[in-house]
Amino acid sequence: MIGVIVPAHNEEALIAGCLAALLEASRHDALAGEPVRIVVALDACSDFSGAIARAYGVQTLSLKARNVGVARALGASLVLAQGARWLAFTDADSRVSPNWLAAQLALDADAVCGSIAVDDWSAHPHSVREYFRKTYVDADGHRHVHGANLGVSADAYRRAGGFPPLRCSEDVALVDRLIATGARIAWSAAPRVTTSARAAARVRGGFSDTLIAWATGSAPA
């Protein structure tokens, strides 16, 4: 079984698109009918995120940590207890490609770090889009780490000790742990994910916050 974990904090505007894409990816022919269990970790949600997730027929769990590391870890623990052999992670404001899971598994690695594309730059100045275009490596061999496009075998995840309880950069911390334990990591552009460039950041230091910093000149650009 493959487990997919989606942390969510008040994502009613975007989570439907995320889940529709995940359900399509879960039915890809290359998976040969292997079950895919999607879990939405509802972290301190006060909107309709949970109702939308349940309407899509996926599993949900609720927590009040306001901590994405905790949310990802709890979701991972749930699917591991249910027998998952592979864990895939994305974000509620992102949409995976139809072959996302198939592409991760085809790389035959202990973990897969995928790149991302941005769906809409209209919330930011043109300079931000240009900076991203010039500096971001969307090709095999990149060294980006995104919680929106990450996969890891159950065995490697356990050896690494899972996600630390960090409010930001929990994905980078997990990959550092994987590297320290000798995991074979594929830095690949094959598993495709499109993500939001919204101007309302959910967490300080995350992708949206980085784009805002570029736009305001508070980060190198």
pLDDT of residue 113: 98
Question: Per-residue pLDDT tens for 137-146?
Answer: 999 999 999 9
The closest of 214, 188, 191 to 201, measured between CA atoms, is 214
Domain for residue 84, yes or no? yes
Domain for residue 122, yes or no? no
The closest of 183, 180, 207, 43 to 110, measured between CA atoms, is 183
Q: Residue ranges of the alpha helices (H) in 27-160?
A: 49-55, 68-81, 100-106, 126-135, 154-160
Average pLDDT over residues 47-58: 98
Residue 42 bridge partners (DSSP): 8, 62
**Of residues 112 and 212, which shows the higher confidence score?**
112
pLDDT of residue 221: 37
Domain for residue 123, yes or no? no
Domain for residue 55, yes or no? yes
Domain for residue 29, yes or no? yes
How many folded domains does the chain comprise?
1
Domain for residue 14, yes or no? yes
Domain for residue 81, yes or no? yes
Q: List the CATH number of the domain containing 144.
A: 3.90.550.10
The CA R_g of the chain, rounded to the nearest whole Å, is: 16
Among 7-11, 93-97, 213-217, the range scoring the smallest mean pLDDT is: 213-217
Domain limits for position 12: 2-116+137-197
Q: Residue ranges of the alpha helices (H) in the chain?
A: 15-26, 49-55, 68-81, 100-106, 126-135, 154-160, 170-180, 207-216
Look up the pTM and report it.
Answer: 0.92
Please tell me the distance from the alpha carbon of residue 148 to that of residue 34, in angstroms, as a whole number.
22
Average pLDDT over residues 107-126: 94
pLDDT over 90 for what percent of the chain?
84
Average pLDDT over residues 62-68: 98
Domain for residue 209, yes or no? no
